[in-house]
Amino acid sequence: MRKLLLMTLALIICFSLSVGAKTVIFEDDFDEGQLGDFPLYFNIFASSAENFEDEGDNGYFVGKWITGAYAIYNDEIEDYTITVDFKMPHGINPAVNYKRAAIMLRSSYESNDKSLEPDNGDPDNSSYLGASGIYFYCYGTTLEVGVHTKKNGGTTGPVNGTSEHAVKKEVPDSTKRLLGSYTVSYLIDLPEGKTFDDFLTVKVVDEKEKISFYTEDELICFLELSDIGDVTTVIGEGYFKEHEEGMPVFDEPSYQTVVLKDAEGNELIKVEEAVVSTVGYLGFASRGCGYMIDNLKIELNKDVTPEPTKEPTPTPDKTPGETEKSSTTFTPSKKDEGEKKDGLQADALTYVLIALAVVILGGIVFVLFRKKK
């Protein structure tokens, strides 16, 4: 009986230790003196050596206009946590909604190269970035949470904002927008003492039907997603690439209802007819401004060992406007043999837990062996 109890206890301990284990699929502190593996895992718009800067021993990625205007992870991803030090060193122009920088997620493949484009063109200052997904615009002491929607009769811009914050405009027919959708947003003040004028540690936990946003491990807000259905949006008439008019920019299952709540669970906004991928892509996007990222880490919210994608995902023509530069590819120098190996980096905590479980099991076996004597 005692043997059975001890073995049961051992199994419970091992199971408890394994719960919460995660798999790191990308991690970079940009301190190698160059961008390292970052361009292998992220599709970077018009990337160049200028996208790397450092201060002393600390290096970081700099997204500029237009080199590095977006950096999007190569693969669709779900049920993950992204942690990053994010900085937006420029003030925003409240009269132009799209001149901002954001952490973006749940974007469709077809929407990725539109993530640096205004949804209704440069002349319409009510435009925000991109054609689908959720954008966390980070600037000053403000977090602006934007959700794409195709609902006719809605209003683009911050629900709780005025002309002092952004441009608000009624959208009678979303199909008339150049990217087939628009953004409804909400402004949230950061806790006292926190600002994106300096590097601020952000953590976004995407759990499929719930997405939580933290700064310095403090919950700021979360979104609840529901009502999955097939959604299609298309490029509108007048788009600067005439051959794309009428082509789908989003054509896949979407969460059609998104509710934003504060840290206490109070509802802030409810977005209907949302255009938000059920899986989608994540990354960083901007237009007409810059942003900086450091200490980037992406991990799945479970312990798995999938094969990583090392080749950049091909994308459609990335030209954001007739007068802007086309995308180029930055090829990093090869690492010396013996440096970081290809593949996933296992979470160090997982190894510690496994070792601890082995020690516990060894102790139990030792006790049982002594009892036999």
More confident residue, 205 or 324: 205
Q: How far apart are CA 28 and CA 11, in angstroms?
A: 35
DSSP helix/strand/coil, 357: helix
Instruction: Find the distance separating the first CA and the last CA of the chain, reported in whole Å.
Output: 17
- pLDDT given for residue 22 in this prediction: 85
Phi, psi at residue 182, to the nearest 5°? -150, 175
Residue 354 binned pLDDT confidence (cut-offs 50, 70, 90): low
**% of the chain with per-residue pLDDT over 70:** 76
Enclosing H/E stretch for 363: helix 348-372
For the chain, give percent helix, strand, coil, nearest 5. 15, 40, 45
pTM for the model: 0.81
Residue range 24-346 forms a domain whose CATH class is mainly beta
Mean pLDDT of 4-18: 44
Q: Are 227 and 209 in contact (CB under 8 A)?
A: no
- pLDDT given for residue 196 in this prediction: 98
Q: Which of 238, 258, 240 is nearest to 106 (CA)?
A: 258
pLDDT single digits (tens) 143-152: 999 999 999 9
Q: Which of 84, 102, 83, 82 is nearest to 92 (CA)?
A: 102
Q: Which of 54, 182, 179, 158 is nearest to 110 (CA)?
A: 179
Residue 303 binned pLDDT confidence (cut-offs 50, 70, 90): confident
Structure tokens at 104: 């973006």
- pLDDT given for residue 345 in this prediction: 42
The size of the chain, in residues, is: 373
Ordered by start, the domain boundaries in the chain are: 1-21+347-373, 24-346
